[in-house]
């Protein structure tokens, strides 16, 4: 039976085994999927041990950059993301990919019916999550991607790396005052229950706000959008869609995400 795993620290909370087993059941594929808790600094040893018999691994915090170094071959999106969340062993080589960005795009575009084509996109945050989603969003041909970040310089540095892929601009929270079509919160502010200092004009009743964080109740960011009459969603679908893309890489078939998203949503409430 083929072996898969998710590697991280902490790892107990991970829903990846449940998601992958649910996908496998859709195709009657038999597999084993375990959680591997690894001490910081010990990623290479753990990953090498796993891949003695293993076929594929998901990698989560804080090891996505270690996984980038560990892989023998990288996809373009993993290189640009500067992080790997999916490792596969093929013909003796370890292939590194990053499915977070396509997971976000598929959730917003396919599950919520929001096209990026020709739209004005605002991404809040300039950390690993933003870096991972810029290329997949650029591929959808938006009119403009604007990055805003608490630390302005980080947003500038990030934007400079993607100028070949999309029209990009950088703003400060203070300078933001026009509306956007899609507003994505890629900061960790929701984790600590902090409100972002966003001008309310960025949201309209026609805009769509997406918080990469997810939970049982709407985040403060989602509430900011709702107050302006806009639609919103959290990042649970992104989690399931990035797993679906990993599953497709490993098994060559595209699973149906909707029932899995619903089942995990039910467990949250
Ligand atoms: P990083 O630590 O790399 O970056 C955090 C970002 O949040 C930085 O831009 C930081 O700004 C900003 N930030 C933190 N607190 C505040 C605040 N109070 N006000 C304004 N900005 C703030 O984290 P990641 O990029 O890896 O992750 C960001 C979020 O995305 C997390 O909540 C994570 O859970 C989520 N995520 C969800 C996924 C999913 O599948 N649903 C997948 C990946 C990530 P500064 O630069 O100024 O410090």
pLDDT digits (tens, 9 = 90+) for 122-132: 999 999 899 99
The verdict on the CB of residue 154 being under 6 Å from ligand 1 is yes
| Cα→Cα distances 240→216, 226, 228, 237, Å | 16, 24, 28, 5
Instruction: State the helix-helix crossing angle for 236-251 and 16-26, rounded to 10 degrees.
Output: 50
∠ at Cα 174 (118, 131), nearest 5°? 50
**Beta bridge pairs of residue 4:** 33, 56
Choosing from 6, 68, 127 the residue with most ligand 1 atoms within 8 A of its CB, the one to mutate for a pocket test is 127
Contacts of 165 (CB under 8 A, 6+ apart): 80, 134, 135, 138, 139
Rounded to the nearest angstrom, the distance between the alpha carbon of 187 and the centre of ligand 1 is 3
- Tens of pLDDT, residue by residue over 132-180, are 999 999 999 999 999 999 999 999 999 999 999 999 999 999 999 999 9
Cβ–Cβ under 8 Å, residues 87 and 60: no
Stretches where the chain sits below pLDDT 70 are none
3-state secondary structure of 100: helix
For ligand 1, atom 44, name the residue with the nearest CA.
Answer: 129
Global pTM value: 0.95
User: So what's the pLDDT on residue 159?
Assistant: 97
Provide the annotated active-site residues: 64
- Tens of pLDDT, residue by residue over 25-37, are 999 999 999 999 9
């Amino acid at each position: 039976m083929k072996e898969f795993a998710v590697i991280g620290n902490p790892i107990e909370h991970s829903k990846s085994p449940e998601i992958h087993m649910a996908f496998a059941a859709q195709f009657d594929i038999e597999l084993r999927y375990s959680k591997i808790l690894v001490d910081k600094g010990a990623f290479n040893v753990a990953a090498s041990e796993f891949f003695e018999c293993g076929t594929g691994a998901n990698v989560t915090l804080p090891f996505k950059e270690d996984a980038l170094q560990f892989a023998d071959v990288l996809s373009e999106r993993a290189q640009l993301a500067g992080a790997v969340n999916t490792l596969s062993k093929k013909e003796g080589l370890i292939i590194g990919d990053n499915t977070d960005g396509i997971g976000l795009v598929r959730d917003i575009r396919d599950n919520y019916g929001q096209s990026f084509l020709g739209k004005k996109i605002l991404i809040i945050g300039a950390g690993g999550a933003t870096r991972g989603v810029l290329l997949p969003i650029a591929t959808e041909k938006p009119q403009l991607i604007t990055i805003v970040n608490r630390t302005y310089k980080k947003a500038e540095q990030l934007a400079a790396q993607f100028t070949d892929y999309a029209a990009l601009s950088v703003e400060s929270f203070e300078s933001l005052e026009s509306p956007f079509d899609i507003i994505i919160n890629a900061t960790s502010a929701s984790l600590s229950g902090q409100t972002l200092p966003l001008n309310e004009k960025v949201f309209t009743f026609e805009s769509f706000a997406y918080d990469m964080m997810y939970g049982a109740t709407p985040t403060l960011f989602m509430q900011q959008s709702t107050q302006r009459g806009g639609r919103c969603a959290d990042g649970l679908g992104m989690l399931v869609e990035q797993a679906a893309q990993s599953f497709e890489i490993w098994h060559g078939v595209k699973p149906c995400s909707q029932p899995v998203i619903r089942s995990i949503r039910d467990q949250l409430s």
